[in-house]
Amino acid sequence: MPPFRAEHVGSLLRPMSLLALRRRFAQGEVDQAALTAAEDRAIDDAIALQQRVGLRLATDGEFRRASYHGYFYSQLGDIAFEAPAGAAGTRGAQPVAMINSRIAWKGPIHGADFAYLAAHAQALPKITIPGPCALHFRGGDAAVTAHAYRDVEQFWDDIVAAFQSELRSLAGAGCTYVQIDETAFAKFGDPDVRAALHARGDDPDALIDRYIAVTNRAIRAIPGLRIGMHLCRGNRGGQWHAEGSYEAVAERLFNALDIGFFFLEYDSARAGDFSPLRFVPQDKSVVLGLVSTKMNVLEDKAALRQRLEEASRFVPLERLAVSPQCGFASTELGNPIDAGMQEAKLRLVVELAQDTWGSA
């Protein structure tokens, strides 16, 4: 049952050949069949990589998407995200959502992705989807009502219905493991983010409660599905969007949110210390994202073991696991890490788990 002791958040570096073919597809030089065949080959290699390092789960690397969230939301309507460019290792501007139509689920979004993984991977297929609050966080009520909605409550009802439909569709197809990437919660501890929310008319603390309630509605009563939530502070091209402890959200997040396990970014001082983990209840577990996907340097295993011991002061080891802090390519641009380092970091996560718990 997930989470496993050694986890992988989801995305992997896209092969350059696949990116080149996608550019040709966008220019009309190759057809969809050729692109799909190239994606299939790349995903087969991604599955082999995850098996080779010893992971017990398999993702498709998010190779059929341009970003971790853009494709999903584009299937629900005329939705886009404006993400300003910036240099790796710097603080990037928050992407802005543009909601130009009503939200509506029109059919399975990641059902075919699950089917491909189930048919080709020996490990447990894991599907990653964005969180239901991403659109609102990246624009507020103003983005919701600019074009598509007059009533913000109708927007939330549509979001909940769409996520419920997709999750039920995945469960009906046989999927048992879904990870929700909801980055908003990790950013509420940043004073600059809180100031920006206040400036647009939002009370950050009230928004936390609203997002928890919406998420609970979206994931409620999905039979047979194990759902975890990943939190981070931005991961586009090695950039980050926020910094600050989980303290501002920890008590409510870990206790009021109907999520059984959390993937928490903990690879740098930007995440704060482990003390907010004191709020994790006894029936929930935490995957510690101790290994950075932003830096092309391999972490020291002994130092990681020390960090695990520090975290175990707040959550017992039997309810902990380890992973990279995020994916390696939240957008197809990818992080400033080479393929060899990506594999080494995933293998390090597996080895750390084996050394700590006797299995991955």
The per-residue pLDDT for range 258-276, each reduced to its tens digit, is 999 999 999 988 889 999 9
Fold (topology level) of 16-357: TIM Barrel (3.20.20)
Residue 118 — pLDDT band, cuts 50, 70, 90? very high
Taking alpha carbons only, the member of 344, 185, 182 closest to residue 253 is: 185
Cβ–Cβ under 8 Å, residues 259 and 2? no
Express each pLDDT in 129-155 by its tens digit.
999 998 999 889 999 999 999 999 999
* Percent of the chain surpassing pLDDT 90: 81
Q: What pLDDT, on the 0 to 100 scale, is given for residue 348?
A: 98
Q: Is the pLDDT of residue 237 over 90?
A: no
Mean pLDDT of the chain: 93
Q: What pLDDT, on the 0 to 100 scale, is given for residue 29?
A: 97
Q: What pLDDT, on the 0 to 100 scale, is given for residue 90?
A: 61
Write out the two tokens for 269: 């001082």
Measured in Å, how far apart are the chain's first and last C-alpha atoms? 12
Residue 243 — pLDDT band, cuts 50, 70, 90? confident
Residue 221 — pLDDT band, cuts 50, 70, 90? confident
Q: Quote the CA–CA distance of 19 and 17 in Å, as a whole number.
A: 5
pTM of the model: 0.93
DSSP labels for 208-266? Answer: HHHHHHHHHHHHTT-TT-EEEEEE-S--STT-B-----GGGTHHHHHHHS--SEEEEE-
CA–CA distance from 29 to each of 22, 32, 33, 39, 250 (Å)?
Answer: 10, 10, 12, 16, 50
Q: Is the pLDDT of residue 85 over 60?
A: no
Q: Is the pLDDT of residue 241 over 70?
A: no
Taking alpha carbons only, the member of 211, 149, 147 closest to residue 183 is: 211
Q: Quote the CA–CA distance of 348 and 324 in Å, as a whole number.
A: 10
CA–CA distance from 133 to each of 13, 38, 172, 211 (Å)?
Answer: 26, 33, 24, 6
Estimate the crossing angle of helix 32-53 against helix 339-357, to 10 degrees: 40
Residue 298 — pLDDT band, cuts 50, 70, 90? very high
Q: What pLDDT, on the 0 to 100 scale, is given for residue 83?
A: 63
Q: Is the pLDDT of residue 170 over 80?
A: yes
Q: Is the pLDDT of residue 234 over 70?
A: no
Cβ–Cβ under 8 Å, residues 266 and 325? yes
Q: What pLDDT, on the 0 to 100 scale, is given for residue 239?
A: 64
Q: Locate the domains of the chain by residue range.
A: 16-357
Q: Quote the CA–CA distance of 81 and 130 in Å, as a whole number.
A: 13
Q: What pLDDT, on the 0 to 100 scale, is given for residue 236?
A: 66
Q: Quote the CA–CA distance of 181 and 272 in Å, as a whole number.
A: 20
Q: Is the pLDDT of residue 309 over 90?
A: yes
Q: Give me the amino acid identity at 350.
A: V
Q: What pLDDT, on the 0 to 100 scale, is given for residue 335?
A: 86
Provide CB contacts within 8 A for 303, sequence distance 6+: none
Write out the two tokens for 270: 């930007």
Q: Is the pLDDT of residue 211 over 90?
A: yes
263-178-212-318 Cα dihedral, nearest 10 degrees = -40
Number of H helices, E strands in the chain: 13, 10
